[in-house]
């Protein structure tokens, strides 16, 4: 079993090998074709350079739980890396970076048939364009004063194609219905070659940048790499740095905006407190003047000190309540949420800062996504749902905080009311003085507190720096990262090989011609007796006589041996040789088989029974004469139709004149008698019959034979002929039927195991 599987594997490998060998020209052609195509593609593919700037994101400290209401506006949570990455890749930031790098212009030169992009800074002239975006201009220099300008626009859905060609002077404004442009030659610069240039729309530039921009996080850290791909290395460097700077600048602007919002809140509170402080100071001073000298008792001073502290707390709680009211209104209305500056509110671990930060991040992400997607996009819809849920949680939390603050406020107010009752028991002047002094002290404390915070905030605003910073600025790349030209050529050659092999095996699969022994074995169980190699001029000469030591002679010896085994070494053998159609080598095989048998000492005779299209006599250079047709018509005797050849032990009976009824002649009793008489004289009788697929004569004659040899021609006979032979063998009782595959070219010898051994023999040299 193992040996059978091994042999089958070997045959499959051989079949693959010889299929490749047969179609080698086609396979090599595809390899060359794809190779040339890949070389062409790799050569003209523009170089792509990558410049990378490294940015570190600073993270602000989260709130420590302080209830300092004025720190609400300045506290932020930890950095969301994904949000920061998306911000860098936003249209807003790209457009901001474009203000410092001119990427609207594209300039090109021709070098060795290639179109190469160059930076506008390296062009010896400047171009000002007021009209004519997406128009390809070509400047051909004439001298230092003049140039030829060619412009063309391809046809679009909204605009027809046009061309422009004219000579102009430098620094001359060109204005027409298609474009408005001015070209100025740089001082001490000379235009020595032609240039192509085009001005893109801002929308297209931003779109192209976003497609070539990559932002990545390094090893789960706060380090971001901003990489940009461009055909111009210096421009890739400039834009990467400009985008990194724009990112730093926007974080500064955001912090400055937050500081201004805090200042606005403080100024609003100070305006009110300043008025209260002024009024309380005036009233206290007036009372002192009227009452002359008023002193407070120890009890009164103690009550007033407690009331001052509680009134200060009440003011701070009221400020918290006001801020929460403002936050509640903003969240409810859903406006300006992304610029809300209360991100850090932490009232004894209330979690307000976390929710506000989460809400702002979700809003920012959705805003960025809306630049590329509609509101129906799954990610946008998911974020919108999250925003609604966060707002619901936030409003619920704010409501609870407001409730707690109101309760705290009521407790303070109740405590103040009790102390006020105690104060009312004091003498009128003492009580009045205490009230005025208390109000003044409270207003003074709050004013000092606000003034201190305003000073801190103003300093922050004046010296705002980003906690993000550029670690490494991008450098101008020297080596392109794409295209990988060697890889492209290698892939091209590999694809050529794959396509060539694929088509070769497809053609082999679809090919309906018999190529080798395996094709025969797959269609029929009839044994293969021999395989005859292709030899030039085989049909013209009797090769086994001409070259007895050649490979072709050895192939016929192998066939003779197999026939002897199949015939069980009978004393007399009648061998019928036939094929399906003409030109399969039936007659040539009959002649050479007869020759090889005669060379072994067997007296052999060939009968040409193909009376409709006889060719046997030509092989031996004999006249057709009174042959078999005359004998079967009883117009001559057997001894008169037997012709001796120049070769020992080999005689021939030609077909004779073409009869009108060859089938009737062959079916007659006389044919059987002729064969019986020939058996008395000859060891082997070979019947060269007509093709079995064209006439019925061969089927009749195969009944007379002891052995039947069915000839197929490699790369010519159809596979369906095998099915026809299989049907004949099933419906007719044929003895010792075997197949010979003829005219096998060198690329197919190994198909069925033939092809080894014959190299031992050499062709006879003439």
pLDDT tens digit string along 174-204? 999 889 999 999 988 899 999 999 999 998 9
Measured CA to CA, the distance from residue 463 to residue 370 in angstroms comes to 34
For residue 109, name the pLDDT band (cuts at 50, 70, 90): very high
Residue 565 pLDDT > 60? yes
**Greater pLDDT, 321 or 205:** 205
Q: Is the pLDDT of residue 374 over 80?
A: no
Cα separation of 551 and 592, whole Å? 13
> To the nearest whole number, what is the mean pLDDT of the chain?
80
**Within a 13 Å sphere around the CA of 692, how many CA atoms are in the beta-carbon half?**
26
CA–centroid distance for 655 within its chain: 70
Contact 504, 26 (CB under 8 A): yes
Confidence of residue 292 (pLDDT cuts 50, 70, 90): low
**DSSP three-state, residue 497:** helix
Query: What is the structure's pLDDT at 348?
Result: 47
Average of pLDDT values for 280-307?
67
Mean pLDDT highest for which of 5-19, 608-622, 667-681? 667-681
Task: Label residue 343 by pLDDT band (50, 70, 90).
Answer: very low
pLDDT at 615: 82
The pLDDT assigned to 150 comes to: 95
Using only the alpha carbons of the chain, give its radius of gyration.
53
pLDDT, average across residues 286-302: 64
Partnered with residue 164 across adjacent β-strands are 151
CA neighbours closer than 13 Å in the CB half-sphere of residue 503: 14
pLDDT level of residue 515 (50, 70, 90 thresholds)? confident
Burial of 150 (0-12, 13-18, 19+ CB in 10 A): middle
So what's the architecture of 517-760 in CATH?
A: 3-Layer(aba) Sandwich (3.40)
Closest CA to 650 of 589, 596, 605, 587: 605
**Cα angle 266, 268, 269; round to 5:** 65
Per-residue confidence at 438, pLDDT binned at 50, 70, 90?
low
If pLDDT is split at 50, 70 and 90, which confidence band does 449 have? Answer: confident
How many CA within 13 A on the CB side of residue 261?
A: 19
What does the pLDDT read at residue 91?
A: 87
Residue 626 C-alpha from the chain's centroid: 77
Q: What interhelical angle do 233-291 and 91-98 show, nearest 10?
A: 100
4 conformational bin, left if phi > 0, alpha if psi -120 to 50, beta if neither:
alpha
pLDDT tops 50 at residue 68: no
Q: Which residue has the higher pLDDT, 317 or 457?
A: 317
DSSP H stretches of helix in 567-623: 586-599, 616-619
Domain residue ranges of the chain, discontinuous segments joined by +: 248-470, 517-760
Lowest mean pLDDT among 46-50, 218-222, 318-322: 318-322
The answer to whether residues 407 and 314 touch, using CB atoms and an 8 Å cutoff, is no
Query: Which helix (H) or strand (E) segment is 93 a member of?
Result: helix 91-98
Indicate whether 748 pLDDT > 60.
no
Region for residue 463 given its phi and psi (left: phi exceeds 0; alpha: psi -120 to 50; beta: otherwise) = alpha
Looking at residue 568, its pLDDT comes to: 62
What's the average model confidence in pLDDT over 290-301?
62
Query: Which residues fall within 8 angstroms of residue 499, CB to CB, at 6 or more apart?
Result: 30, 34
**Which of helix, strand or coil describes residue 1?**
coil
Rounded mean pLDDT of 680-692? 90
Contact present, 341 and 261 (Cβ < 8 Å): yes
Residue 64 pLDDT: 36
| Residues forming beta bridges with residue 653, ordered by sequence position | 607, 642
| Whole-angstrom distance, CA of residue 397 vs CA of residue 355 | 9
pLDDT at 363: 80
How high is the pLDDT of residue 732? 63
Q: β-pairing, 223-230 with 49-56?
A: antiparallel
pLDDT of residue 696: 65
Helix (H, G, I), strand (E, B), or coil: what is residue 220? coil
**Structure confidence at residue 221 as a pLDDT band (50, 70, 90):** confident
Res 635: pLDDT: 84
Instruction: Kindly indicate the confidence band of residue 391, based on its pLDDT and cuts at 50, 70 and 90.
Output: confident
In the predicted model, what is the mean pLDDT of residues 456-480? Answer: 77
Please check whether residue 69 is in contact with residue 323, taking contact to mean a CB–CB distance below 8 angstroms. yes
Average pLDDT estimate for 501-508: 90
Region 128-132 average pLDDT: 87
| More confident: 631 or 332 | 631
Taking residue 176's Cβ as centre, other Cβ atoms within 10 Å add up to 12
Pairing of strands 146-153, 172-175: unpaired
- When pLDDT is averaged across residues 231-240 and rounded to a whole number, the result is 95
- pTM metric for this prediction: 0.62
**Selected residue with higher pLDDT from 546 and 715:** 715
Alpha helices in 370-427 (DSSP H): 378-424
Q: What is the mean pLDDT of residues 404-432?
A: 76
Report the pLDDT value the prediction gives residue 764, as an integer from 0 to 100: 41
């Amino acid at each position: 079993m193992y040996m059978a599987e091994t042999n089958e594997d070997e045959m499959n490998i051989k079949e693959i090998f010889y299929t490749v060998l047969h179609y080698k020209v086609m396979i090599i052609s595809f390899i060359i074709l794809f190779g040339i195509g890949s070389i062409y593609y790799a050569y003209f593919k523009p170089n792509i350079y990558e410049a990378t700037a490294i940015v570190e994101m600073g993270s602000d400290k989260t709130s420590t739980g302080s209830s300092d209401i004025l720190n609400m506006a300045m506290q932020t949570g930890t950095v969301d890396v994904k949000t920061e990455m998306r911000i860098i890749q936003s249209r807003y930031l790209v457009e901001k970076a474009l203000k410092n790098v001119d990427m609207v212009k594209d300039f090109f030169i021709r070098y060795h048939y290639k179109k190469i992009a160059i930076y506008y800074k390296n062009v010896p002239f400047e171009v000002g364009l007021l009209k004519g975006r997406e128009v390809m201009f070509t400047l051909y220099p004439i001298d230092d004063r003049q140039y030829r300008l060619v412009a063309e626009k391809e046809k679009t859905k909204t605009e027809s194609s046009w061309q422009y060609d004219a000579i102009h002077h430098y620094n001359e404004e060109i204005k027409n219905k298609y474009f408005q442009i001015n070209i100025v030659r740089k001082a001490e610069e000379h235009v020595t070659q032609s240039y192509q240039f085009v001005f893109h729309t801002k929308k297209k530039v931003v779109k192209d940048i976003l497609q070539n921009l990559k932002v990545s996080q390094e090893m789960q850290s706060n380090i971001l790499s901003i990489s940009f791909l461009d055909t111009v290395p210096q421009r890739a460097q400039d834009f990467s740095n400009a985008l990194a700077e724009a990112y730093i600048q926007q974080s500064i602007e955001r912090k400055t905006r937050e500081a201004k919002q805090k200042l606005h809140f403080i100024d609003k509170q100070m305006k009110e407190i300043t008025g209260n402080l002024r009024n309380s100071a005036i009233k206290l001073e007036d009372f002192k003047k009227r009452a002359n000298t008023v002193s407070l008792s120890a009890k009164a001073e103690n009550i007033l000190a407690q009331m001052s502290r509680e009134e200060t707390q009440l003011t701070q709680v009221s400020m918290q309540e006001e801020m929460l009211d403002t936050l509640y209104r903003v969240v409810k209305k859903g406006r300006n949420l992304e610029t809300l500056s209360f991100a850090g509110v932490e009232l004894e671990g209330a979690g307000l800062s976390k929710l506000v930060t989460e809400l702002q991040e979700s809003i920012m992400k959705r805003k960025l996504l809306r630049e590329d997607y509609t509101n129906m996009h799954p990610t946008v819809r998911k974020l919108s749902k999250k925003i609604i849920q966060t707002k619901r949680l936030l409003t619920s939390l704010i409501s609870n905080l407001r409730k707690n603050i109101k309760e705290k406020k009521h407790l303070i107010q109740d405590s103040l009311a009790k102390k006020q009752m105690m104060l009312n028991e004091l003498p009128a002047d003492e009580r009045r003085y205490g009230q005025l002094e208390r109000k003044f002290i409270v207003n003074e404390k709050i004013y000092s507190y606000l003034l201190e915070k305003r000073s801190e905030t103003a300093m922050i605003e004046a010296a705002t720096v980003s906690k993000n910073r550029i670690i490494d600025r991008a450098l101008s790349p020297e080596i392109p990262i794409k295209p990988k030209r060697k890889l492209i050529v290698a892939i091209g050659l590999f694809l050529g090989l794959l396509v060539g092999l694929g088509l070769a095996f497809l053609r082999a699969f679809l090919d309906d011609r018999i190529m080798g022994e395996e094709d025969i074995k797959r269609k029929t169980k009839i044994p293969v007796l021999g395989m005859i190699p292709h030899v030039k001029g085989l049909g013209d000469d009797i090769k086994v006589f001409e070259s007895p030591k050649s490979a072709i002679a050895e192939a016929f010896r192998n066939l003779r041996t197999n026939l002897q085994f199949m015939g069980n070494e009978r004393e007399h053998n009648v061998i019928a040789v036939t094929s399906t159609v003409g030109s399969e080598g039936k007659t040539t095989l009959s002649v050479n088989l007869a020759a090889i048998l005669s060379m072994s000492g067997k007296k052999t005779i060939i009968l040409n029974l193909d009376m409709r299209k006889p060719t046997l006599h030509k092989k031996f250079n004999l006249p057709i004469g009174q042959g078999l047709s005359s004998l079967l018509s009883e117009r001559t005797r057997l001894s008169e139709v037997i012709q001796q050849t120049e070769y020992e032990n080999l005689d021939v009976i030609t077909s004779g004149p073409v009869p009108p009824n060859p089938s009737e002649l062959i079916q007659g009793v006389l044919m059987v008698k002729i064969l019986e008489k020939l058996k008395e004289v000859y060891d082997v009788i070979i019947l060269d019959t007509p093709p079995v697929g064209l006439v019925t004569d061969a089927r009749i004659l195969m009944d007379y034979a002891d052995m039947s040899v069915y000839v197929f021609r490699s790369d010519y006979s159809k596979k369906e002929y095998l099915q026809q032979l299989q049907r004949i063998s099933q419906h007719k009782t044929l003895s010792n039927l075997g197949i010979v595959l003829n005219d096998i070219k060198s690329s197919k010898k190994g198909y069925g195991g033939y092809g080894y051994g014959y190299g031992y023999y050499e062709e006879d040299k003439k």
